[in-house]
Amino acid sequence: MTRFKLTIEYDGAPYSGWQRQDGQPTVQGELERAASALEEVPVQIFGAGRTDAGVHALGQVAHVDMIKDLRPDTVRDALNHHLGNNPISVLYAETVNDDFEARFGAIERTYLYRLIDRRPPLALDRGRIWRVPQSLNVTRMDKAAQVLIGPHDFTTFRDVQCQAKTPMRTLDEIRISRVGEEIHLFFSARSYLHRQVRSITGSLVEIGTGKWGPEDLQQALQACDRSACGPVAPAHGLYLNTVCY
């Protein structure tokens, strides 16, 4: 038996998130179906992290144990074949040691949130970027976001259904910049709370529009109260970017 590390991209729009769910289309479920067709026996795939319904991935990582003696490129191509028309692509397959764990071995996960501040509706990127129909002050957003760096109680930016044992998390980096016509929000941390990135993003947009001042973000953080959070950003602008080991 050989363990493979898989790097995967996907469009999250058709799926009820990463995690396998009975009766619901999920990314993990489709990958396991493809792997089971290849192996001709039931196969489990383990991801580095769960993404919510509608969230995309540029570099999700998973591991899978394969019984057949196959080259990594054969595993990649065969999985993509069995995935069929699913908007899921295995970019790389690599052999790894048997103790490699996609979830527990990760030391950093980065997320990208894509925004565009324009009034006309999107034609080509609908469902992949959050369109805010008014100008955003990116400099104000980036400066305000820095109060979130480091270890904090992120209760305010934690979904009420979050199952994490503690609201304490450490954000290593938040960077906000214009990239062409888009605004990119880059987040780096070892782990996140449920909907933490989307909650923070929505609050930062309030700063960008001028509805909030920079001090309001710090007050929201210190409140440790979910009701102090701004509107939660929609799922379709969020991408799991990279997972590092």
What is the structure's pLDDT at 102? 97
Out of 11, 22, 52, 142, pick the active-site residue.
52
What is the structure's pLDDT at 176? 98
CATH class (in words) of the domain with range 108-244: alpha beta
What is the structure's pLDDT at 117? 97
User: In angstroms, rounded to a whole number, what is the distance separating the alpha carbons of residues 115 and 52?
Assistant: 18
What is the structure's pLDDT at 178? 97
Name the DSSP letter for residue 24: B
Residues of the chain with pLDDT under 70: none
Which conformational region is residue 40 in: left (phi greater than 0), alpha (psi within -120 to 50 degrees), or beta? left
**Three-state secondary structure string covering 93-118:** EEEECCCCCCCCCCCEEEEEEEEECC
What is the structure's pLDDT at 127? 94
User: In angstroms, rounded to a whole number, what is the distance separating the alpha carbons of residues 154 and 14?
Assistant: 30
Contacts of 211 (CB under 8 A, 6+ apart): none
3-state helix, strand, coil in the chain (%, to 5): 30, 30, 40
CB 160 within 8 A of CB 177: no
Amino acid (one-letter) located at 30: E
Sort 36 into a burial class: Cβ within 10 Å, 0-12 / 13-18 / 19+: middle
Give 48-57 pLDDT, tens digit per residue: 999 999 999 9
- Cβ atoms < 10 Å from Cβ of 212: 19
Which part of the chain has CATH 3.30.70.580? 2-96
What is the structure's pLDDT at 45? 97
Give 193-235 pLDDT, tens digit per residue: 999 999 999 999 999 999 999 899 999 999 999 999 999 999 9
What is the structure's pLDDT at 70? 95
What is the structure's pLDDT at 124? 94
Three-state secondary structure call for residue 7: strand
pTM, 2 dp = 0.95
User: In angstroms, rounded to a whole number, what is the distance separating the alpha carbons of residues 10 and 55?
Assistant: 9
105 phi/psi in degrees, rounded to 5: -85, -10
**Helix 72-83 vs helix 27-39: angle between axes, to the nearest 10 degrees?**
120
User: In angstroms, rounded to a whole number, what is the distance separating the alpha carbons of residues 112 and 238?
Assistant: 6
What is the structure's pLDDT at 214? 87
What is the structure's pLDDT at 192? 97
Task: Enter the CATH code of domain 2-96.
Answer: 3.30.70.580
Amino acid (one-letter) located at 170: T
What is the structure's pLDDT at 210? 96
User: In angstroms, rounded to a whole number, what is the distance separating the alpha carbons of residues 195 and 169?
Assistant: 13
- Cβ atoms < 10 Å from Cβ of 95: 14
- Bridge partners, 243 (sequence order): 109
CB 174 within 8 A of CB 150: no
77 in catalytic set? no
Residue with tokens 């062409």, as numbered in its chain? 180
Share of residues in the chain with pLDDT > 90 (%)? 98
Nearest to 144 by CA among 196, 188, 203: 203
What is the structure's pLDDT at 120? 96
Which part of the chain has CATH 3.30.70.660? 108-244
